[in-house]
Structure 1
């Protein structure tokens, strides 16, 4: 039986689509027609347009995060940390699960983009604080409480505020997310007053968090300034636009965080400062 041939619609220019869709003034071509059809949106995964790289730069990492979170991570814990407590593994599964949700949903349903980023920040904070304060449960609770307050404000004021959802408010949203993400350095600064820095670097994986922060800053700066497409409009409509680079740097940051948290947990596991809890 012959296979049904995929219908590939004619791609449109920015002046042929609604303004909410052509939100980047420097991306002029490669737009899919607005169909309001879920099926046609799924079919658009099979042909090239100016959202293809954006979609796959999240979907592929979502699959990888799902595998790492549900299979590879479990095997790694069983083989390397046989005496680890159940909560030890749970915090890493939380990080992987929030990564899957963030990568897998945000580019399929754009309206949930910022909600899933909040979840991703939450997952990163939980795992980072857990391993960094492994033997200090009271500090963990205080730090988590601080994070909860920050994320509640972020979700309520930025994510759910309809006045801040337009393209004109993009930089406000980006600034809020960056500020919230970097509030993780408040526990680090506090911990640096308690532990020798060399020890803290190992027990919390600080060097990896610095790298993660650098990746996020670079990605956000490129996204906020629309570089490189603002430099040469239309050249980067399909490949190499700022949002694509931003996605890639965020993905690198997430996996850098996971690797750093695992490395820090291994140090805490080997250098028993306290009984497992």
Structure 2
């Protein structure tokens, strides 16, 4: 009979410090796992298993939605739908990158860092996709045709580049300066989100305009609330910080963070689809649509500079001696 031996699991005391997770005491994989062992761990209950599946399954759902929209869209002639396709494409990239990062992060110390560098780049690419969709469909009436609108996507590209670099750099401070590391990591993701959400906040709390007063508003409210909840779980490390060892496999903050992020993306997608449909007539008359060179240029710049950041910081891992990288500040 064919049998598969699942990889052995370890406690936090048996793991190098770079693999430690606050409040998680058991269920760690070998710090030098093979690629095969990493894949097998998808079918074994470890402290990473649900981190993987809470993004791997939604990836297939978002991919199905993307293909469905792609199938009914005349890509060559329907320029109004281009921003939506970019957004839906990037919404597939980040959950896949995240699930891969969590799957293969136990192969080595450097592999762990590089996996998450790529994860950060994918998250920021999704942020840019969101900004492109917001620029095309969700801007409140009063901000359309303003200088802010004209430079909104350009600055969103700059934000993704800075955010990827800052989040990658923060990993070098994870053990030496944990408070600074956490502050930089949260800042790296918070400020691009805040910039992207300015038109949403203006619409929700100030003056939406006649064309923006529609059913999408409720979804934008839900998206904002769920995103704030996700941010809380990411930064607070609750509930495992209050009861170390009790939530190692199910219910720790990163799993809850993943679930909230996926729900937020789903609600955001519904809001964008509603705005695209309900505001189409008004937007085609009153707004300047993003051209193909603008959209392609924004995505290309994001990819080139973010990959440049990832390559630079990945190379730095091999230039810095391991004791110096992981020596804890006293």
Instruction: Give TM-score, length-normalised by structure 2.
Output: 0.71
Among 259, 266, 269, the alignment partner of 1:248 is 259
Structure 2 equivalent of residue 218 of structure 1: 229
Q: Is the 8 A contact 1:131 1:264 kept in 2?
A: yes
Structure 1 equivalent of residue 300 of structure 2: none
Do residues 209 (structure 1) and 220 (structure 2) align? yes
Structure 2 portions without partners, runs of 5+: 102-114, 290-330
Q: CA deviation at 1:37?
A: 1.3
**CA RMSD, aligned part only?**
3.1
Residues 123-157 of structure 1: CA distance to partner in whole angstroms, max 9, x if unpaired?
Answer: 11111221124995776542111212222222233
Structure 1 equivalent of residue 8 of structure 2: 10
For 1:239 and 1:192, the matched residues in 2 are separated by 35
For 1:271 and 1:222, the matched residues in 2 are separated by 39
What SS is found at the alignment partner of 2:19? coil
Moved more, 129-138 or 217-226: 129-138
Q: CA deviation at 1:91?
A: 1.8
Cα–Cα, structure 1 residues 156 and 33, in superposed 2: closer, same or farther, change >3 Å?
closer
Q: CA deviation at 1:174?
A: 1.6
Cα–Cα, structure 1 residues 50 and 193, in superposed 2: closer, same or farther, change >3 Å?
closer
Instruction: Give TM-score, length-normalised by structure 1.
Output: 0.84
Q: Is the 8 A contact 2:166 2:188 kept in 1?
A: no
Among 41, 46, 62, the alignment partner of 1:49 is 46
Q: Is the 8 A contact 2:166 2:184 kept in 1?
A: no
For 2:183 and 2:260, the matched residues in 1 are separated by 18
Structure 1 equivalent of residue 163 of structure 2: 154
Structure 1 equivalent of residue 37 of structure 2: 40
Cα–Cα, structure 1 residues 162 and 19, in superposed 2: closer, same or farther, change >3 Å?
closer
Q: Is the 8 A contact 2:56 2:95 kept in 1?
A: yes
Structure 1 portions without partners, runs of 5+: none
Q: Is the 8 A contact 2:138 2:199 kept in 1?
A: no
Q: How many residues align?
A: 268
Moved more, 85-94 or 100-109: 85-94
Moved more, 172-181 or 252-261: 172-181
Do residues 122 (structure 1) and 91 (structure 2) align? no
Q: CA deviation at 1:247?
A: 0.4
Do residues 144 (structure 1) and 156 (structure 2) align? no
* Superposed counterparts of 1:1-277, under 5 Å: 2-3=1-2, 5-24=3-22, 26-70=23-67, 72-75=68-71, 77=72, 86-109=78-101, 110-111=115-116, 112-133=118-139, 136=144, 140-160=149-169, 163-164=172-173, 168=178, 169-188=181-200, 196-202=208-214, 205-269=216-280, 274=285
Q: Is the 8 A contact 1:201 1:207 kept in 2?
A: no
Q: CA deviation at 1:272?
A: 6.6
Structure 1 equivalent of residue 308 of structure 2: none
Moved more, 147-156 or 259-268: 147-156
For 1:100 and 1:108, the matched residues in 2 are separated by 13
